[in-house]
Structures are given as C-alpha cells and as structure tokens.
C-alpha cells in the first residue's frame, strides 16, 4: 500500500506487502494547501536548504505546489504513477525559469522514485526521505563515505573513518563521496532499509535531536526518536538541464527483515 499527496507530489506512506510502514510521517503536520508536509518523501527543488534571498521558501517550492497526475498503470508487480509540475506565475515570481518536472513512482515490493527536470538551468535538489525506525539510539547508517559537511557546525568539513553515522544527538550532514547504496540498520526494529541512490552527487542524513524536535511546530516533542532521514541529493554538483537533455535524480528503497 502507498499514498501520495498532490501537494508536492509527496509520497506519504509506503508499506511493502507483509511489512510494516517504511516511511515516517509526523502526526503534527498540518496538510494545509501550499504548506510543506513533514515526513514521507518531500521533493526539494530547485534549491536545497535555506533560500538565497529572504522570503523564499526553504528547500525550494516544488514541495509546496499542486502537481497533476498524468499517468497511472498497475500490474501484478505494483503501480506506476507519474505527476507533472510546470512553471506558472507563482513559480516564476520565486525563480525566473521555465521548466517541466515529472515525478515517477514505482510502488511495490520496492519503492522507486525518479525526478525528471526539463528546461535550461541548473538546480540543487534532494529526495528528502524520512524513514521509520524503532529507536534512533539503536540506528546506524552505513555506506555514506568518509567526507561530509557538518551543517550543525556551520558547514565545517569532517571525516568518518568507517563511512557510518550514528545518532546520539542532532545530526545534519551532507556526505560528499557516498556509496551508491546506504543501509539503515534499524537494530531495535530488526530490519535493514536499503536506500539506493541514482544520478546523485551527495547523500544527506538528518535527525533533529530532542531540542530541535521540541521547537518544531509540525513535529511532536519525541518525534525524533522514531525517524531518520537518508536523502539522495544533488547539492555540491547541481543537476543541469538542457533543452534536449533533461536532468534526473532517483532513489530506490527496499526493506529487508532480519531473520
């Protein structure tokens, strides 16, 4: 089972057959039209992180826009849905480019998401995936590579000897030389979530920790305890679209239960 909101072409839920929920969604999110949804898989585009100018939305505007369902197909392996977003007066006021975006979801035993961007520009972006975990204190993510930018420490560069991340407080890091697959070891939940990255340059991992979680209006005070973000991204090497050559960013999830 899965559900997708037209607001942001936002994947809210994905449950592989015989498995528990794979994605984390905040019970405190508002679901107001035009407002960002906390959890699931937001599409951050055409910029990632804070906006360059005051008054512009963080993580771009794609996650706040109403997308259109363009195609829907089903077979024995699952469903494929395609959503479209085109430039409009509202987006041009925020970002002066014409564009067409397609978001494709292949939903079944695996979850595949592809963002395809048409136009003539460059953009930073991320598939900002929130995953369910049983206890963040018992989570380890591997396959991230050695080098990272630590956003908690104002962009200070750092190194990880083993390419692994643990969460004993607030974590917000951009790993700049990641493997093509990250593994979320959900030890308390007795499962591993495989996160494959395609057409990426970076992988972001985030958990707000207790203090930031308590300050966020769209997250419960203890929300940080059962979620972790592992995000396929193009940040340090922006995606470049040309008229005849669209840019892509994609990710694939699979849940593997420990026996």
User: Any idea which residue has 């206890």 for tokens?
Assistant: 135
| Cβ contact 132:227 at 8 Å | yes
Quickly tell me which residue has 């498995």 as its tokens: 19
Q: Which residues are catalytic?
A: 128, 231
> How many CB atoms lie under 10 A from the CB of residue 217?
8
Q: Please state, as a whole number, how many other Cβ atoms lie within 10 Å of the Cβ of residue 237.
A: 13
How much is the pLDDT for 259?
63
**Residues of the chain with confidence (pLDDT) below 70:** 259
- Provide the token pair at 50: 């804070």
Structure tokens at 122: 């460059």
* Alpha carbons 174 and 153: distance in angstroms, whole number: 12
Q: For the chain, what is the HEC assignment?
A: CEEEECECCEEEEECCCCCCCCECECCCCCCCCCCCCCECECEEECCCCCCCCCCCCCCECHHHCECEEEEEEEECCEEEEEEEEECCHHHHHHCCCCEEEEEEEEEECCEEEEEEEEECEEEEEEECCEEECCCHHHEEEECCCCEEEEHHHCCEEEECCCCCEECCCCEEEEECCCCCEEEEEECCCCEEEEEEEECCCEEEEEECHHHHHHHCCCCCCCHHHHEEEEEEEEEEEEEEEECCECEEEEEEEEEEECC
- The predicted pLDDT at position 72 comes to 96
Residue 79 CA to residue 87 CA, distance in Å, equals 27
d(CA 133, CA 158): 26
CA distances from 177 to 149, 158, 159 (A): 11, 12, 11
d(CA 182, CA 47): 23
Cα 59 from Cα 57, distance rounded (Å)? 6
């Amino acid at each position: 089972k899965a559900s997708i909101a037209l607001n942001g072409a936002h994947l809210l839920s994905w449950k592989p057959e015989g498995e528990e929920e794979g994605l984390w969604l905040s019970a405190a999110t508002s679901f107001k039209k035009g407002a960002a949804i906390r959890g699931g898989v937001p599409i951050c585009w055409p910029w990632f992180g804070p906006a360059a100018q005051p008054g512009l939305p963080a993580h771009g505007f794609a996650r706040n826009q109403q997308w259109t369902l363009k195609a829907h197909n089903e077979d024995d392996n699952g469903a494929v849905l395609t959503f479209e977003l085109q430039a409009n007066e509202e987006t041009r006021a925020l970002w002066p480019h014409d564009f067409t975006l397609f978001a494709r979801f292949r939903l079944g035993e695996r979850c595949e998401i592809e963002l395809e961007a048409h136009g003539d520009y460059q953009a930073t972006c991320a598939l900002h995936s929130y995953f369910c975990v049983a206890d963040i204190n018992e989570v380890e993510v591997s396959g991230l590579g050695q080098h990272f930018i630590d956003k908690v420490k104002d962009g200070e560069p750092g190194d990880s000897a083993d390419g692994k991340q643990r969460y004993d407080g607030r974590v917000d890091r951009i790993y700049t030389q990641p493997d093509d697959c990250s593994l979320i070891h959900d030890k308390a939940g007795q499962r591993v979530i495989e996160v494959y990255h395609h057409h990426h340059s970076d992988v972001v991992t985030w958990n707000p920790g207790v203090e930031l979680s308590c300050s966020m209006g769209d997250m419960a005070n203890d929300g940080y305890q059962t979620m972790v973000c592992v995000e396929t991204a193009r940040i340090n090497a922006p995606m470049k679209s040309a008229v005849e050559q669209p840019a892509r960013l994609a990710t694939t999830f699979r849940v593997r239960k420990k026996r």
